[in-house]
C-alpha cells in the first residue's frame, strides 16, 4: 500500500470538531485500501499467487453446490463445513444433532499408530523404531524438556521423528549433481487424505459415516478435476478446490483441534506417525540398494544417485507404493534438480532441470498477503546470485523499488514503538503498525515496555547506557538507523538515503553460511 494508516484517534474518544477532517481522511483511505484488497480477492491483480483466482466466485459456487453460506468463511472453515454437510447427509441428522467428541482421551503408544504393513529389512531401522514404539504419545503441548523427538543416522543423513512429521537435519550446503548423477525430489501426492482413506481412520464418536463421507469427497474431487480438464468450466475448478479444502485443513487439520466436532487425536497421530514410518521404509529400501537419500521432510525425500541406477530407483519406488497402499492414490511425484541450495531442510532454493525455481523460507520472493514481506530485496538478491550468478551488491545497489527495502514491525499489548533522534534524543511515538527501511540518516527505532512490577527505579540502562526509571526498551535493528515509511513519496531511489550495507550484509551472511561448507 502507498500508505500505512490507522485511525488517528482512539475509538472511545469524544471527537472534537477539529478532529473530524482527520477521521474523514482516514475513512476515505480505509475504503481505498479495502477496494484494493477486494481486487486481489477476485484475482484482478498481477500478484503471481492471486492473479486470476476469484475467491468470492469460489464461495458463490460452493453456496450453490452445498447450500453453505460461506461468503465470510476462511478456507479452513469452508472445508470443515463441507465435511459437516457430508456427514449429516449420510447420517440423516442435522447439525445440532452432531455427536460430541470425548475429550478424555485414553493413553496410547507410538506402536499403536504404526501401520500394519510396516516392515524393515535392516537391524538398524528395526532397532530405531523399536526404541520408541512402546513410549506413550504425549498429547499436551510440548515444552522443550518433554519434546518427543527421536534421532537416527543412516549413511550420513540424520533423521528426526517427531509427533508432527519426519525431517532430516540438513546443514547449510550446495548440492550440484555431477554429469553422471541425478538429484531427484520425490513428493507423496495427497499424503494426508490418502492415509485416512487406506488405513480407514475415523473419529470414534462419529463412526464410519465420517470415513464414508471423507472418502467420497476424495472421489468427488478427482471427478471434478477431470471434468474441469475436459470442459474448462470454472464451476468444476471451484468444486475441486472446495473438496481440497475439506480434505486437508477442514478434515485432517480439524482432527487434532480440541474444539472441533471432528476431534480425534488418535487418528491424527496415526496419520503423522504412520506417514513417517512409510517414509523410513522408502529410505531404507533406497539406501540398501545404493541410492543415497540426502534429505527428507514430511511428505518427500531428495536423493542423489548415479544415472545407472535410475531404472532401479523407479522400480523400488513402485514397489514401495504397492506395499504401503499408494498405487492408485498417493503416488510419488518427481522433480529433478540441477542445483539445490539450503540453509536447512525447510529453507532452500532448488533449480529444476526445466529451469523452474522452487523456493522456501529465506529464499521466498513472492508472499501471501498475510505473510511477512520484510526486506524482500534480500531473497531477490539471493535468487539472482544462485540462479543467475549476479553479485549481491549489483542486485541491491541497482534495485529501484523502495518497497522491497521496507520492513514491518508492530506493537502488541502495552508495548510502544518509539522513534528516537540519535543526537538530541527527541522522541516520536509511533502508531501500532509501522513500515520502515534502514537508512543512513535515520533515527533509532525502539520497542518500549512498562517497568516490571516492583522494579521501578531499579538500575535499568537505555540503549545509550544511561540509567532510567526501570522502563524496559530494546532497539529494533540494533546498530542501524531507520526511516519510518508509512506514507509513500515517489522520488529517485538515491534520495531515500537507503543504507545498502544493511541489506548487502543480510544477504551475504546467508551466502557465507552456505558457501563455507564448500571450503570444508
> Position of cell 459456487?
61
Those residues with Cβ within 8 angstroms of residue 3's Cβ, 6 or more apart along the chain or in another chain: 29, 486, 487, 488
Please state the separation of Cα 41 from the chain's center in Å. 20
Structural domains in the chain, CATH included, are 121-189+274-368 (3.30.70), 407-484 (no CATH)
> What is the distance between the alpha carbons of residues 66 and 97, in angstroms, rounded to a whole number?
19
The sheet carrying 472-476 orders its strands as: 427-429, 416-420, 444-449, 472-476
3-state secondary structure of 272: helix
> What is the distance between the alpha carbons of residues 451 and 448, in angstroms, rounded to a whole number?
9
Per-residue pLDDT tens for 95-124? 999 999 988 888 999 999 999 999 999 999
> What is the distance between the alpha carbons of residues 430 and 443, in angstroms, rounded to a whole number?
12
Mean pLDDT score, 79-94: 92
Local structure of residue 177 (DSSP, 8 states): -
Per-residue pLDDT tens for 69-83? 999 998 899 999 999
Q: Strand (E) positions, 173-261? A: 173-175, 181-188
Can you read off the three cell numbers belonging to residue 138?
504425549
CA-based torsion, 243, 244, 249, 255: positive or negative: positive
Mean pLDDT score, 335-342: 97
Q: Is the pLDDT of residue 358 over 80?
A: yes
pLDDT at 88: 93
* 467 or 473, greater pLDDT: 473
| 429 closest CA partner among 415, 439, 440, 441 | 415
3-state secondary structure of 184: strand
pLDDT at 64: 86
Own/partner long-range contacts of 407-410 (Cβ < 8 Å, ≥24 apart): 407/374, 407/375, 407/435, 407/436, 407/437, 407/438, 407/477, 408/372, 408/373, 408/374, 408/433, 408/434, 408/435, 408/436, 409/433, 409/434, 409/436, 409/445, 409/447, 409/476, 410/434
Can you read off the three cell numbers belonging to residue 14?
469524544
Local structure of residue 109 (DSSP, 8 states): B
> What is the distance between the alpha carbons of residues 380 and 358, in angstroms, rounded to a whole number?
13
| 296 closest CA partner among 167, 171, 184 | 167
> What is the distance between the alpha carbons of residues 445 and 42, in angstroms, rounded to a whole number?
37
| 152 closest CA partner among 245, 62, 54, 276 | 276
> What is the distance between the alpha carbons of residues 295 and 183, in angstroms, rounded to a whole number?
11
Helix (H) or strand (E) segment spanning residue 211: helix 208-231
3-state secondary structure of 398: coil
Instruction: Please calculate the CA angle 249-255-259 and round it to the nearest 5 degrees.
Output: 95
Range of lowest pLDDT (21-25, 40-44, 146-150, 280-284)? 146-150
Range of lowest pLDDT (37-46, 65-74, 265-274, 288-297)? 65-74
pLDDT at 139: 86
pLDDT band at 469 (very low <50, low <70, confident <90, very high): low
Q: Is the pLDDT of residue 471 over 90?
A: no
Mean pLDDT score, 487-491: 95
Whether 134 and 110 have beta carbons less than 8 Å apart is answered as yes
> What is the distance between the alpha carbons of residues 86 and 509, in angstroms, rounded to a whole number?
52
Those residues with Cβ within 8 angstroms of residue 306's Cβ, 6 or more apart along the chain or in another chain: 180, 181, 182, 290
pLDDT band at 234 (very low <50, low <70, confident <90, very high): confident
pLDDT at 451: 73
pLDDT band at 474 (very low <50, low <70, confident <90, very high): confident
> What is the distance between the alpha carbons of residues 396 and 207, in angstroms, rounded to a whole number?
58
Pairing of β 157-162 and β 460-461:
unpaired
pLDDT at 96: 92
Range of lowest pLDDT (33-42, 236-245, 285-294, 357-366)? 236-245
Q: Classify the phi-psi angles of 369: left when phi > 0, otherwise alpha if psi is within -120 to 50, otherwise beta.
A: alpha
pLDDT at 279: 97
Local structure of residue 24 (DSSP, 8 states): H
> What is the distance between the alpha carbons of residues 220 and 422, in angstroms, rounded to a whole number?
63
- Average pLDDT in the chain: 92
> What is the distance between the alpha carbons of residues 437 and 481, in angstroms, rounded to a whole number?
9
pLDDT at 212: 94
pLDDT at 266: 95
| 376 closest CA partner among 101, 47, 57, 10 | 47
> What is the distance between the alpha carbons of residues 245 and 248, in angstroms, rounded to a whole number?
6
Label residue 45 exposed, middle or buried (CB < 10 Å: 0-12, 13-18, 19+). middle
Query: What phi, psi does 159 have (nearest 5°)?
Result: -110, 145
Q: Which of 45-59, 145-159, 488-502 has the highest mean pLDDT?
A: 488-502
Dihedral, 362, 171, 186, 390 alpha carbons, nearest 10:
50
Can you read off the three cell numbers belonging to residue 143?
515444552
Mean pLDDT score, 156-168: 94
> Position of cell 524438556?
145
Query: What phi, psi does 428 have (nearest 5°)?
Result: -125, 125
Q: Strand (E) positions, 237-321? A: 292-297, 300-306
Range of lowest pLDDT (37-51, 137-151, 285-299)? 137-151
pLDDT band at 173 (very low <50, low <70, confident <90, very high): very high
Mean pLDDT score, 373-385: 97
Amino acid at each position: 500500500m502507498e500508505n500505512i494508516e490507522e485511525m488517528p484517534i482512539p475509538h472511545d474518544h469524544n471527537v472534537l470538531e477539529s478532529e473530524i477532517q482527520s477521521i474523514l481522511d482516514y475513512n476515505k483511505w480505509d475504503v481505498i485500501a479495502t477496494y484494493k484488497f477486494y481486487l486481489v480477492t477476485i484475482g484482478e491483480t498481477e500478484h503471481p499467487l492471486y492473479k486470476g483466482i476469484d475467491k468470492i466466485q469460489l464461495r458463490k459456487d460452493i453456496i450453490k453446490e452445498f447450500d453453505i453460506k460461506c461468503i465470510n468463511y476462511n478456507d479452513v472453515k469452508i472445508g470443515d463445513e463441507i465435511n459437516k454437510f457430508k456427514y449429516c447427509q449420510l447420517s440423516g441428522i442435522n447439525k445440532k444433532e452432531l455427536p460430541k467428541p470425548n475429550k478424555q482421551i485414553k493413553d496410547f503408544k507410538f506402536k499403536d499408530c504404526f501401520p500394519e504393513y510396516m516392515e524393515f529389512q535392516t537391524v538398524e531401522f528395526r532397532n530405531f523404531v523399536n526404541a520408541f514404539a512402546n513410549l506413550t504419545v504425549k498429547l499436551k503441548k510440548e515444552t522443550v524438556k518433554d519434546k518427543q523427538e527421536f534421532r537416527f543416522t543412516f549413511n550420513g543423513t540424520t533423521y528426526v521423528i517427531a509427533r508432527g512429521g519426519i525431517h532430516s537435519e540438513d546443514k547449510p550446503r550446495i548440492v550440484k549433481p555431477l554429469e553422471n548423477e541425478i538429484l531427484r525430489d520425490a513428493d507423496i501426492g495427497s499424503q494426508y487424505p490418502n492415509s485416512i482413506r487406506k488405513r480407514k481412520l475415523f473419529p470414534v464418536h462419529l463412526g464410519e459415516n465420517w470415513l464414508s463421507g471423507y472418502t467420497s469427497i476424495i472421489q468427488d474431487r478427482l471427478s471434478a478435476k477431470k471434468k474441469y480438464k475436459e470442459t474448462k468450466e470454472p464451476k468444476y475448478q471451484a468444486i475441486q478446490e472446495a473438496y481440497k479444502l475439506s480434505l486437508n485443513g477442514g478434515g485432517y487439520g480439524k482432527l487434532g483441534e480440541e474444539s472441533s466436532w471432528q476431534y480425534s487425536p488418535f487418528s491424527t497421530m496415526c496419520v503423522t506417525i504412520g506417514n513417517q514410518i512409510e517414509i523410513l521404509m522408502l529410505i531404507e529400501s533406497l539406501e540398501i540398494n545404493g541410492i543415497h537419500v540426502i534429505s527428507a521432510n514430511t511428505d518427500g525425500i531428495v536423493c542423489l544417485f548415479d544415472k545407472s541406477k535410475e531404472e532401479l530407483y523407479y522400480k523400488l519406488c513402485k514397489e514401495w507404493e504397492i506395499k504401503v497402499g499408494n498405487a492408485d492414490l498417493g503416488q510419488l511425484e518427481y522433480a529433478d534438480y540441477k542445483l539445490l541450495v539450503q540453509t536447512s531442510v525447510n529453507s532452500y532454493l532448488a533449480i529444476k532441470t526445466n529451469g523452474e525455481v522452487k523456493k522456501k523460507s529465506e529464499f521466498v520472493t513472492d508472499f501471501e498477503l498475510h505473510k511477512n514481506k520484510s526486506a524482500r530485496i534480500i531473497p531477490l538478491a539471493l535468487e539472482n546470485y544462485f540462479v543467475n550468478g549476479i553479485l549481491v551488491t549489483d542486485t541491491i545497489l541497482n534495485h529501484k523499488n523502495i518497497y522491497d527495502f521496507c520492513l514491518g514491525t508492530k506493537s502488541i499489548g502495552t508495548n510502544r514503538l518509539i522513534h528516537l533522534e540519535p543526537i538530541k534524543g527527541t522522541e516520536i511515538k509511533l502508531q501500532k503498525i509501522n513500515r520502515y527501511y534502514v537508512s543512513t540518516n535515520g533515527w533509532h527505532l525502539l520497542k518500549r515496555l512498562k517497568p516490571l512490577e516492583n522494579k521501578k527505579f531499579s538500575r535499568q540502562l537505555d540503549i545509550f547506557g544511561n540509567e532510567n526509571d526501570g522502563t524496559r526498551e530494546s532497539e529494533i535493528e540494533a546498530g542501524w538507523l531507520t526511516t519510518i515509511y508509512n506514507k509513500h513519496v515517489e522520488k529517485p531511489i538515491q534520495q531515500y538515503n537507503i543504507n545498502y550495507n544493511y541489506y548487502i550484509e543480510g544477504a551475504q551472511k546467508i551466502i557465507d553460511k552456505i558457501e563455507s561448507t564448500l571450503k570444508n
